[in-house]
Amino acid sequence: MAKNKEQNQANYNMRTRMIDGSYGSKHWEYNHHIVPPMSASCAYRLDNVQRGAEGFAHFANPEDIDSLPIFIYDRLDEPARGMLEEKLACAEGGDIAVCFATGMAAISAAIGVTTKHGDEIVAHHTLYGCTYSLFANWLPRQGITTSFVDLKDPSAFWSSITCNTRVVYLETPVNPTLDILDIASIKKSISDVNATRPKGREILLIVDNTFATPFCQRPLQFGADIVVHSLTKNIGGFGTDMGGVVIASAKYQRDLLLYRKDFGGVLSPKGAWPILVYGLPTLAARMVNQQKSAMKIAHFLEGHPMIEKVMYPGLESFPQRELARKQMFSYDGKFAPGSVIYFVLKGSQCRAQKAAEMFIDVVAKNSRCITLAVSLGQIRTLIEAPYSMTHAALPDDLKNAIGISPGGIRLSLGLEDWHDIIADLSRALEETSADQSNYLDGAATAGS
Ligand SMILES: *Cc1c(COP(=O)(O)O)cnc(C)c1O
């Protein structure tokens, strides 16, 4: 009976599979619950020493992947997180998923299980700030160094690869400029290198898929070896809980579980539960709506006289339009350009920066549907200025070279009515324009 249900489950579409809770999970028999129980137990009762011994022997043992887990201690394995891991692996198209306390803990683990002293990483030059800091400040202490290069440029890739390169690491779309990196073509170059290497010394491709979410893009399909996510963003979706996950083929499970056991950055069951119950099941519905708003708002901004440029993969004017269509699509094959827009206000650098700050301040003061905050991918629309906020740590010349302009603004669309978002953006642009001309007139009369 249960077997039939499980077989049926595989025939359902992904949107259904991310919601359906009525199939038997090996982590918990909850056929009579509609919502999985929130577990809360640091240690588990073992009926006898034999069971305890078996539990330890089974843990992280690849031969026991399909057997019923024997729970011993939360940091090793526990039901709510285990169920979330099954669903995340399925959503991303990987064999296994291992969840961590935050996205950064997941990224640390992905690097931890794939590199050792003397190894090198080649990373795209623009990365989530803390990932950059991990690679630039902490990994070198363990003898792991990183070359930051432009992975849009194949010659930069080739000149950065050495015989010690072990990992190529990237995010796509790139935050905040929304440049897209071609996962399949980068993988092709890596495979060319790997063909010349001894077994066990191959270069692995790790992709941070947080920005796109598995709804819009599944890097494993294009040859990534490992995918990492911050569950804090769109997968969690409501902005209430932090989390991270590593998704990969089964051969990485053992090391990921042992790493998590020993470094300890495990996702708590109370943190896993809202992502399992609210986040992942609503991901598709949220993304469809957020994308629709993003498209409407990108068009509105593109037509506005105060805007210099709008970067959104869904726009016809998007420079990498073809690549976006090839790489970003939902489970049913529809183009899925995501829910984040980057746009730049007109004017010289200094003037554009002032205008952007003024504009965001007006939004922060007057808008009820757009919130000034970092983070992204939640039901609330969030706005921020990457140049002086999230990406402030990058040197100015690098920011200018890679398109993070002083007048740049990042907008992460939520679920508010898009008419309201456009109305608030429009009013704030008007107010900024009026204020800017006063400011300029004033400056002119003052003779400066
Ligand atoms: C937020 C974020 C992270 C880090 O995730 P945390 O859950 O905050 O640790 C990593 N990568 C990207 C692209 C992010 O947006």
Task: Decide if pLDDT at 6 tops 60.
Answer: no
The closest of 301, 297, 296, 290 to 330, measured between CA atoms, is 290
- Give the model's pLDDT for residue 350: 87
- Give the model's pLDDT for residue 63: 82
Task: Decide if pLDDT at 179 tops 90.
Answer: yes
Pick the residue whose CA is nearest to atom 8 on ligand 1. Answer: 103
Q: Residues 304, 344: contact at Cβ < 8 Å?
A: no
- Give the model's pLDDT for residue 258: 97
- Give the model's pLDDT for residue 1: 35
Give me the mean pLDDT over the 381-403 stretch: 90
- Give the model's pLDDT for residue 306: 94
What are the Cα distances from residue 416, in Å, to 2, 176, 215, 371? 40, 22, 20, 11
Q: Residues 145, 123: contact at Cβ < 8 Å?
A: no
Q: By 3-state DSSP, what share of the chain in percent is helix, strand and coil, each rounded to 5?
A: 45, 15, 40
Give me the mean pLDDT over the 109-119 stretch: 98
Q: Which residues pair with 147 in a beta bridge?
A: 122
Work out which ligand 1 atom sits closest to the CA atom of 232: 7
Measured in Å, residue 218 CA sits from the centre of ligand 1 at: 17
Task: Decide if pLDDT at 448 tops 70.
Answer: no
- Largest CA-CA distance found in the chain, in angstroms, rounded: 88
**Looking at domain 284-447, what is its CATH homologous superfamily?**
Aspartate Aminotransferase, domain 1 (3.90.1150.10)
Measured in Å, residue 332 CA sits from the centre of ligand 1 at: 27
Give the other-Cβ count within 10 Å of 398's Cβ: 13
Task: Read off the pLDDT band of 23 (50, 70, 90).
Answer: low
Pick the residue whose CA is nearest to atom 5 on ligand 1. Answer: 103
Could you read off the pLDDT of 423-438 as tens digits, one per residue? 999 999 999 988 777 6
Measured in Å, residue 107 CA sits from the centre of ligand 1 at: 9
Task: Read off the pLDDT band of 38 (50, 70, 90).
Answer: confident
Work out which ligand 1 atom sits closest to the CA atom of 171: 13
The closest of 269, 292, 268, 428 to 361, measured between CA atoms, is 428
Pick the residue whose CA is nearest to atom 7 on ligand 1. Answer: 103
Work out which ligand 1 atom sits closest to the CA atom of 242: 7
Order the strands of the 307-311 sheet from edge to edge: 307-311, 340-345, 408-412, 381-384, 370-372
Measured in Å, residue 189 CA sits from the centre of ligand 1 at: 27
Of the chain, the percentage scoring pLDDT greater than 90 comes to 80
Give me the mean pLDDT over the 306-328 stretch: 97
| Sequence-ordered alpha helix ranges (H) in 145-200 | 154-160, 183-194
Pick the residue whose CA is nearest to atom 2 on ligand 1. Answer: 230
HEC states along 108-151? HHHHHHHCCCCCEEEEECCCCHHHHHHHHHHHHHHCCEEEEECC
Q: Does 32 or 263 have the greater pLDDT score?
A: 263
Task: Read off the pLDDT band of 5 (50, 70, 90).
Answer: low
Measured in Å, residue 210 CA sits from the centre of ligand 1 at: 7
Measured in Å, residue 395 CA sits from the centre of ligand 1 at: 21
Measured in Å, residue 173 CA sits from the centre of ligand 1 at: 13
Block residue for tokens 């070896």: 225
Element at 9 (helix H, strand E): helix 2-11
Work out which ligand 1 atom sits closest to the CA atom of 175: 13
Report CA 416 to chain centroid distance, whole Å: 22
What tokens appear for 95 in the block? 């064999």
Give me the mean pLDDT over the 358-369 stretch: 95
Could you give the angle at the alpha carbon of 206 between the alpha carbons of 376 and 333, nearest 5°?
65
Give me the mean pLDDT over the 258-280 stretch: 97
Measured in Å, residue 231 CA sits from the centre of ligand 1 at: 8
The closest of 373, 413, 407 to 388, measured between CA atoms, is 407
DSSP readout, 276-320?
IIIIHHHHHHHHHHHHHHHHHHHHHHHT-TTEEEEE-TTSTT-TT
Ligand 1 pocket test target in 177, 217, 232, 410 with most atoms within 8 Å of CB = 232
Could you give phi then psi for residue 213, rounded to 5 degrees?
Answer: 70, 155
Could you read off the pLDDT of 137-146 as tens digits, one per residue? 999 999 999 9
Which residues contact ligand 1 via a Cβ below 6 A?
102-104, 128, 131, 171, 175, 208, 210-211, 230, 232-233, 242, 244
3-class secondary-structure state, position 390: coil
Pick the residue whose CA is nearest to atom 11 on ligand 1. Answer: 128
Write down the domain spans for the chain.
Answer: 284-447
Work out which ligand 1 atom sits closest to the CA atom of 243: 7
- Give the model's pLDDT for residue 441: 45
Of the chain, the percentage scoring pLDDT greater than 70 comes to 94
Q: What is the chain's mean pLDDT, rounded?
A: 92
Measured in Å, residue 380 CA sits from the centre of ligand 1 at: 17
Q: Residues 235, 229: contact at Cβ < 8 Å?
A: yes
